[in-house]
Amino acid sequence: MPIHHDNSPPPQAQTGAPSILVRELNYRYPDGFHALRGLSVAIAPGERVGLVGPNGAGKSTFMLHLNGLLSGEGEIRIAGLPLSKEKLPEVRALVGMVFQNPDDQLFSPTVFDDVAFGPLHMGYGEEEVRQRVAEALAAVGMADFAERMPYHLSVGQKKRVSLATVLAMGPELLVLDEPSAGLDPRGRRQLIELLDGMALTMLVSTHDMRLVDELFPRILVMDAGQIVYDGETSAVLNDDAFLRAHGLEKP
Protein backbone atom coordinates (compact mmCIF):
# COMPACT_ATOMS: atom_id res chain seq x y z
CA MET A 1 0.00 0.00 0.00
CA PRO A 2 1.61 3.27 -1.08
CA ILE A 3 1.79 6.00 1.51
CA HIS A 4 -0.59 8.84 0.69
CA HIS A 5 1.07 12.18 0.38
CA ASP A 6 -0.84 15.43 0.36
CA ASN A 7 -0.77 15.55 -3.42
CA SER A 8 -2.15 12.03 -3.78
CA PRO A 9 -5.24 11.59 -5.97
CA PRO A 10 -8.70 11.95 -4.41
CA PRO A 11 -10.47 8.74 -3.31
CA GLN A 12 -12.63 8.61 -6.45
CA ALA A 13 -9.48 8.25 -8.50
CA GLN A 14 -8.59 4.93 -6.89
CA THR A 15 -10.34 2.96 -9.57
CA GLY A 16 -10.23 -0.77 -9.34
CA ALA A 17 -10.44 -0.88 -5.55
CA PRO A 18 -13.52 -2.58 -4.09
CA SER A 19 -16.03 -0.18 -2.53
CA ILE A 20 -15.93 -2.25 0.62
CA LEU A 21 -13.14 -4.61 1.56
CA VAL A 22 -13.18 -6.42 4.89
CA ARG A 23 -10.65 -9.01 6.00
CA GLU A 24 -10.89 -11.14 9.12
CA LEU A 25 -12.85 -8.60 11.13
CA ASN A 26 -13.30 -9.46 14.78
CA TYR A 27 -15.06 -7.31 17.33
CA ARG A 28 -15.78 -7.67 21.02
CA TYR A 29 -18.06 -5.24 22.84
CA PRO A 30 -16.59 -3.70 25.99
CA ASP A 31 -18.46 -6.28 28.12
CA GLY A 32 -16.48 -9.01 26.31
CA PHE A 33 -19.25 -10.26 24.00
CA HIS A 34 -17.64 -11.52 20.79
CA ALA A 35 -20.05 -10.01 18.24
CA LEU A 36 -18.07 -10.33 14.97
CA ARG A 37 -16.10 -13.48 14.33
CA GLY A 38 -13.74 -13.33 11.39
CA LEU A 39 -15.83 -11.50 8.76
CA SER A 40 -14.38 -11.20 5.26
CA VAL A 41 -16.14 -9.71 2.25
CA ALA A 42 -15.43 -7.64 -0.84
CA ILE A 43 -18.09 -5.53 -2.54
CA ALA A 44 -17.36 -4.03 -5.96
CA PRO A 45 -18.33 -0.50 -7.02
CA GLY A 46 -21.98 -0.39 -8.06
CA GLU A 47 -22.89 -3.70 -6.46
CA ARG A 48 -26.12 -3.96 -4.48
CA VAL A 49 -25.91 -6.35 -1.58
CA GLY A 50 -28.54 -7.35 0.96
CA LEU A 51 -27.53 -8.27 4.52
CA VAL A 52 -29.87 -10.59 6.39
CA GLY A 53 -29.84 -12.76 9.47
CA PRO A 54 -31.67 -13.22 12.76
CA ASN A 55 -31.85 -10.64 15.53
CA GLY A 56 -28.49 -10.38 17.23
CA ALA A 57 -26.56 -11.85 14.27
CA GLY A 58 -24.25 -8.83 14.20
CA LYS A 59 -25.59 -6.91 11.19
CA SER A 60 -25.68 -3.51 12.87
CA THR A 61 -22.38 -4.12 14.62
CA PHE A 62 -20.80 -4.88 11.23
CA MET A 63 -22.29 -1.81 9.56
CA LEU A 64 -21.08 0.51 12.31
CA HIS A 65 -17.53 -0.57 11.42
CA LEU A 66 -17.86 0.71 7.87
CA ASN A 67 -17.46 4.36 8.80
CA GLY A 68 -15.33 3.80 11.86
CA LEU A 69 -18.00 4.23 14.55
CA LEU A 70 -16.85 0.90 15.92
CA SER A 71 -13.41 -0.46 15.35
CA GLY A 72 -12.41 -4.08 15.75
CA GLU A 73 -9.41 -6.19 14.76
CA GLY A 74 -8.82 -6.91 11.09
CA GLU A 75 -8.70 -4.85 7.93
CA ILE A 76 -11.32 -2.56 6.43
CA ARG A 77 -10.92 -0.44 3.32
CA ILE A 78 -13.52 1.82 1.77
CA ALA A 79 -12.82 2.63 -1.90
CA GLY A 80 -9.25 1.59 -1.20
CA LEU A 81 -8.89 3.82 1.85
CA PRO A 82 -7.95 2.32 5.21
CA LEU A 83 -10.06 3.44 8.16
CA SER A 84 -7.09 5.13 9.76
CA LYS A 85 -7.45 8.29 11.82
CA GLU A 86 -6.15 10.45 8.96
CA LYS A 87 -8.47 8.93 6.37
CA LEU A 88 -11.60 8.75 8.51
CA PRO A 89 -13.03 12.13 7.41
CA GLU A 90 -12.60 11.13 3.75
CA VAL A 91 -14.20 7.76 4.37
CA ARG A 92 -17.14 9.34 6.17
CA ALA A 93 -17.72 11.64 3.20
CA LEU A 94 -17.95 8.58 0.93
CA VAL A 95 -20.19 6.42 3.11
CA GLY A 96 -23.82 7.41 3.60
CA MET A 97 -24.89 5.52 6.70
CA VAL A 98 -28.46 5.28 7.94
CA PHE A 99 -28.71 3.85 11.45
CA GLN A 100 -31.26 1.28 12.51
CA ASN A 101 -32.69 3.67 15.09
CA PRO A 102 -33.57 7.06 13.54
CA ASP A 103 -33.28 8.71 16.96
CA ASP A 104 -29.53 8.15 16.62
CA GLN A 105 -29.54 10.17 13.39
CA LEU A 106 -31.87 13.11 14.03
CA PHE A 107 -30.97 15.76 16.56
CA SER A 108 -31.90 19.18 15.12
CA PRO A 109 -34.90 21.37 15.96
CA THR A 110 -36.33 21.03 12.44
CA VAL A 111 -36.28 18.45 9.66
CA PHE A 112 -34.67 21.07 7.41
CA ASP A 113 -31.79 21.57 9.84
CA ASP A 114 -31.18 17.84 10.14
CA VAL A 115 -31.00 17.35 6.38
CA ALA A 116 -28.95 20.55 5.90
CA PHE A 117 -26.41 19.56 8.55
CA GLY A 118 -24.29 17.31 6.31
CA PRO A 119 -24.13 19.60 3.25
CA LEU A 120 -23.39 22.63 5.48
CA HIS A 121 -20.47 20.83 7.06
CA MET A 122 -19.22 19.83 3.63
CA GLY A 123 -18.87 23.54 2.92
CA TYR A 124 -21.67 24.09 0.41
CA GLY A 125 -23.20 27.56 0.10
CA GLU A 126 -26.69 28.43 1.26
CA GLU A 127 -28.38 28.07 -2.13
CA GLU A 128 -26.76 24.71 -2.84
CA VAL A 129 -27.70 23.49 0.65
CA ARG A 130 -31.33 24.54 0.14
CA GLN A 131 -31.47 22.72 -3.15
CA ARG A 132 -29.90 19.56 -1.74
CA VAL A 133 -32.31 19.54 1.18
CA ALA A 134 -35.32 20.05 -1.10
CA GLU A 135 -34.24 17.28 -3.45
CA ALA A 136 -33.45 14.82 -0.66
CA LEU A 137 -36.76 15.45 1.13
CA ALA A 138 -38.67 15.13 -2.14
CA ALA A 139 -36.90 11.85 -2.89
CA VAL A 140 -38.18 10.32 0.36
CA GLY A 141 -41.64 11.86 0.10
CA MET A 142 -41.13 14.32 2.98
CA ALA A 143 -41.07 17.63 1.09
CA ASP A 144 -43.87 19.08 3.23
CA PHE A 145 -42.15 18.33 6.52
CA ALA A 146 -39.14 20.66 6.38
CA GLU A 147 -40.29 22.86 9.25
CA ARG A 148 -41.51 20.06 11.51
CA MET A 149 -39.70 18.79 14.61
CA PRO A 150 -37.99 15.48 13.86
CA TYR A 151 -38.60 14.39 17.45
CA HIS A 152 -42.36 14.47 16.91
CA LEU A 153 -42.47 12.50 13.65
CA SER A 154 -43.76 8.95 13.37
CA VAL A 155 -41.24 6.12 13.19
CA GLY A 156 -41.68 5.69 9.43
CA GLN A 157 -41.37 9.44 8.86
CA LYS A 158 -38.17 9.49 10.92
CA LYS A 159 -36.76 6.65 8.83
CA ARG A 160 -37.45 8.63 5.67
CA VAL A 161 -35.85 11.80 7.02
CA SER A 162 -32.82 9.77 8.16
CA LEU A 163 -32.35 8.57 4.61
CA ALA A 164 -32.72 12.15 3.34
CA THR A 165 -29.91 13.35 5.67
CA VAL A 166 -27.62 10.91 3.91
CA LEU A 167 -28.84 11.49 0.34
CA ALA A 168 -28.30 15.25 0.74
CA MET A 169 -24.57 14.60 1.09
CA GLY A 170 -24.31 12.78 -2.24
CA PRO A 171 -22.46 9.71 -0.93
CA GLU A 172 -20.78 7.13 -3.19
CA LEU A 173 -21.83 4.26 -1.03
CA LEU A 174 -25.02 3.61 0.90
CA VAL A 175 -24.97 1.57 4.09
CA LEU A 176 -28.56 1.29 5.28
CA ASP A 177 -29.61 -0.53 8.44
CA GLU A 178 -33.20 -1.71 8.01
CA PRO A 179 -34.37 1.23 5.88
CA SER A 180 -37.86 -0.23 5.33
CA ALA A 181 -38.62 -0.92 9.00
CA GLY A 182 -41.75 1.00 9.98
CA LEU A 183 -42.59 2.10 6.45
CA ASP A 184 -46.14 1.67 5.18
CA PRO A 185 -46.66 -0.24 1.90
CA ARG A 186 -46.56 2.91 -0.20
CA GLY A 187 -43.44 4.16 1.59
CA ARG A 188 -41.82 0.79 1.11
CA ARG A 189 -42.61 0.86 -2.60
CA GLN A 190 -41.20 4.40 -2.87
CA LEU A 191 -38.05 3.27 -1.08
CA ILE A 192 -37.60 0.35 -3.47
CA GLU A 193 -38.05 2.63 -6.48
CA LEU A 194 -35.72 5.22 -5.01
CA LEU A 195 -32.94 2.70 -4.33
CA ASP A 196 -33.51 1.01 -7.65
CA GLY A 197 -32.98 4.33 -9.44
CA MET A 198 -29.63 5.08 -7.79
CA ALA A 199 -26.39 3.88 -9.34
CA LEU A 200 -24.54 3.60 -6.03
CA THR A 201 -22.89 0.78 -4.17
CA MET A 202 -25.37 -0.42 -1.55
CA LEU A 203 -25.18 -2.62 1.50
CA VAL A 204 -28.61 -2.86 3.09
CA SER A 205 -29.61 -4.89 6.11
CA THR A 206 -33.22 -5.97 6.36
CA HIS A 207 -35.65 -8.58 7.59
CA ASP A 208 -37.78 -7.88 4.53
CA MET A 209 -37.04 -10.79 2.20
CA ARG A 210 -39.26 -9.38 -0.54
CA LEU A 211 -37.17 -6.23 -0.57
CA VAL A 212 -34.06 -8.40 -0.86
CA ASP A 213 -35.60 -10.38 -3.66
CA GLU A 214 -36.50 -7.24 -5.61
CA LEU A 215 -33.36 -5.18 -5.12
CA PHE A 216 -30.34 -7.29 -4.30
CA PRO A 217 -28.89 -9.89 -6.65
CA ARG A 218 -26.28 -10.70 -4.00
CA ILE A 219 -26.95 -11.52 -0.38
CA LEU A 220 -24.86 -11.89 2.77
CA VAL A 221 -26.40 -14.05 5.45
CA MET A 222 -25.04 -13.46 8.95
CA ASP A 223 -25.58 -15.64 11.97
CA ALA A 224 -23.84 -15.56 15.34
CA GLY A 225 -21.24 -13.03 14.22
CA GLN A 226 -20.24 -14.82 11.03
CA ILE A 227 -21.10 -14.61 7.35
CA VAL A 228 -22.62 -18.01 6.67
CA TYR A 229 -23.52 -17.32 3.03
CA ASP A 230 -22.27 -14.87 0.43
CA GLY A 231 -23.63 -15.31 -3.06
CA GLU A 232 -26.63 -15.23 -5.30
CA THR A 233 -29.89 -14.25 -3.64
CA SER A 234 -31.94 -16.58 -5.81
CA ALA A 235 -29.98 -19.63 -4.64
CA VAL A 236 -30.65 -18.84 -0.98
CA LEU A 237 -34.31 -18.06 -1.46
CA ASN A 238 -34.82 -21.52 -2.93
CA ASP A 239 -33.07 -23.37 -0.12
CA ASP A 240 -35.76 -23.94 2.49
CA ALA A 241 -33.57 -25.91 4.87
CA PHE A 242 -30.89 -23.21 4.87
CA LEU A 243 -33.46 -20.45 5.36
CA ARG A 244 -35.01 -22.25 8.31
CA ALA A 245 -31.62 -22.97 9.87
CA HIS A 246 -30.89 -19.24 9.98
CA GLY A 247 -34.30 -18.00 11.01
CA LEU A 248 -35.22 -16.70 7.57
CA GLU A 249 -38.30 -17.11 5.41
CA LYS A 250 -39.08 -17.14 1.72
CA PRO A 251 -40.63 -13.88 0.59
Ligand X SMILES: Nc1ncnc2c1ncn2[C@@H]1O[C@H](COP(=O)(O)OP(=O)(O)OP(=O)(O)O)[C@@H](O)[C@H]1O
Choose from Mg ion, ligand X, none: what does 7 bind? Cβ within 5-8 Å by kind: none
End-to-end CA distance of the chain: 43
Pick 35 or 111: Cβ nearer ligand X: 35
Pick 101 or 110: Cβ nearer Mg ion: 101
Q: How far is the CB of 63 from ligand X (least distance, A)?
A: 8
Pick 139 or 221: Cβ nearer ligand X: 221
Contacts to ligand X by CB under 6 A: 29, 31, 33, 35, 53, 55-61, 100
Q: How far is the CB of 212 from ligand X (least distance, A)?
A: 14
Pick 35 or 66: Cβ nearer ligand X: 35
- Out of 40, 60, 110, 190, the residue judged to bind Mg ion by CB under 5 A: 60
If one asks whether residue 61 binds Mg ion (CB under 5 A), the answer comes out as no
Pick 218 or 246: Cβ nearer ligand X: 246
If one asks whether residue 100 binds Mg ion (CB under 5 A), the answer comes out as yes
If one asks whether residue 19 binds Mg ion (CB under 5 A), the answer comes out as no
> Which residues of this chain interact with Mg ion, rule CB under 5 A?
59-60, 100
